[in-house]
Structure 1
Amino acid sequence: MTPLISAPDLAARLGEKNLRVVDGTVHLSFDADGAHIASGRETYRAGHLPGAVFAEQITDLSDPDGEAPFAAADPDRFAAAVGALGIGDDSTVVVYDTANGIWATRLWWQFGLEGFDDVLVLDGGYSAWTAAGLPVETGEIIPDTASFTPRRRPERIVSTDEVAAATGDRSVLLINALDRESFASGHIPGSVNVPFAELVDGSGQLRPIEELRQLFDEAGALDPSVRPVTYCGGGIAATAAALALQTLGRDDVAVYDGSMNAWTADPARPLW
């Protein structure tokens, strides 16, 4: 089953009792000083899907003591954050962002990490919604809180030590989701490259199944004898690759949450 929902299909479901729509936007920019992140809350207030709440991924859904920036929040922290958004065990969740889709897939992945599968990603995000001429709201919605029960799936996340061991394990395939230039400038030994930007079309919607299948098949990621582990710069774009692989039927994908931020923290770790 695809973890995506189209804008028209979501519009038809608005108003369902247990439906919770979540804007997970984070703004990422680069300059001479490196990468910078900023909350998408003001963007959300300026325009969001009807009834949508805002998830603050930078703080509420990250572990400040993790091995790298944006480390996934622990189960209790995650449960408290999404419960405050009105998301409970009986909710159906739809996530989206106003950026390039990877912040929505990051939130989708974190729900799955905590054992919650009733979550969909709006295909094409906010742009697809507005392009369809569908209504938006402004301001901020503060929902009633709910009780969310986390059920951590440790097999869906890997640490730096596990990745280091995997570089010599042919049963694990490390998939770098960064652009081809970044991959060529340095990557974890043994990795293959499937850039997240090549998984979507010009409108930001996921490419057709057969096109995705060709991309991942050429990289060896559909071989049933290997376990795919996706990574990127900071564990965000890696989740887009994980979603695409799940769309292709792989339910055994793990994400290297620390990704290159954690790997390169020790200059002794090799790069190819």
Structure 2
Amino acid sequence: MDESVVVSPDWLAARLDDPAVRIVDVRDAWEYDGIGHIPGAVNVPFDSYRDESDVDRGTLPGAEAFADLLGEAGIDADDTIVTYDDTHGVFAARFMLTALEYGHDDVRLLDGDYSAWNREYETTSEVPEIESTTYEPDPLSPEESPLVGYDAVVDALERDAVFVDTREREEFEEARLPGAVRFDWREVVDDETRRLKPEAELEDLLAEHGITPDREIVLYCNTARRISHTYVVLKALGYETVHFYEGSLTEWLANDGEVESGPVASE
């Protein structure tokens, strides 16, 4: 796995004293305070960087609002951010995608989650001292961004793109984009270790669903949370043409986009 995208607990443990590596815990404040956290981690709860008030914009909080959060957390634009949660990384992956979208160059997902870390390394309830910064966002241009909107998705349906639905079976059977394949985002996680499955196993698993590096990939779910995790995994495996439908099925249905329903033979 590409360590510029996903890092192991061992990698992070060796860098706990590095001031340029900033650890972001995206769990609720009560979990961060009451259960404990990775030493040195700051708390940026999931709800603070997710805005569901405007369907047209998906759930991104806006560049300035996100920059304020990072500044309050004492993070500089040139820091290496490592983010984690306690839900196999799905909420942390959403933080990572948001940070990348607003121009933070070096942000990585911890392979595993808090529970996986806690099996091997110490945790703490001590809150680090934070000196706030003035964080200047640098949002990606539409050409640079992996995010795509409704019109781009309509166009992609006319091409040989693989539409990947990362939701559960019941959701998929109720309504899905035409020709989509279902790939539950949790399939990449080893239930025992709580970490990602070995790289070769992941590649085989994805290939079984027709999700291969030579294809154009379009990811969607309901509100773009679950696809964040799948996006990070694909990028860590070296996939290059991966589009992220931020509006996902919520926007698609709001625009009366064509859908299919019912079970699929391969399911």
- Report the TM-score range of the alignment, normalised by the length of the smaller protein: 0.7 to 0.9
| Alignment size in residue pairs | 255
Q: CA deviation at 1:165?
A: 2.9
Choose which of 120, 144, 149 in structure 1 pairs with 2:137: 149
Distance 1:158 1:88, change over 3 A: same
Moved more, 85-94 or 148-157: 148-157
Equivalences for 1:117-266 in 2 at 5 Å?
117-138=105-126, 142-154=130-142, 155-170=145-160, 172-202=161-191, 203-224=193-214, 226-266=215-255
Name the SS for the 1:264 alignment partner.
Answer: helix
Q: CA deviation at 1:139?
A: 5.1
Q: CA deviation at 1:140?
A: 7.4
Distance 1:116 1:153, change over 3 A: farther
> Partner amino acid for 1:24?
V
> Partner amino acid for 2:135?
S
Q: Normalising by structure 2, what TM-score?
A: 0.86
> Partner amino acid for 2:181?
V
Q: CA deviation at 1:22?
A: 0.4
CA contact (8 A) 2:213 2:240 kept: no
Distance in 2 (alpha carbons) for counterparts of 1:123 and 1:16: 19
> Partner amino acid for 1:247?
A
> Partner amino acid for 2:92?
A
Q: CA deviation at 1:141?
A: 5.6
> Partner amino acid for 2:205?
L
The structure 1 segments of at least 4 consecutive aligned residues displaced by more than 6 Å after TM superposition are: none
CA contact (8 A) 2:162 2:211 kept: yes
Name the SS for the 1:87 alignment partner.
Answer: coil
Choose which of 35, 41, 53 in structure 1 pairs with 2:42: 53
> Which is strand-richer, 1 or 2?
1
Percent identical pairs in the alignment equals: 30
- Which consecutive residues of structure 1, in runs of 5 or more, have no partner in the other structure? 26-39
> Partner amino acid for 1:22?
V
Q: CA deviation at 1:205?
A: 0.8
Distance 1:117 1:220, change over 3 A: farther
> Partner amino acid for 1:174?
F
Cα RMSD of the aligned pairs, angstroms, is 2.2
Q: CA deviation at 1:241?
A: 1.0
- 1:76 is aligned to 2:78: no
Distance in 2 (alpha carbons) for counterparts of 1:81 and 1:252: 30
> Partner amino acid for 2:182?
N
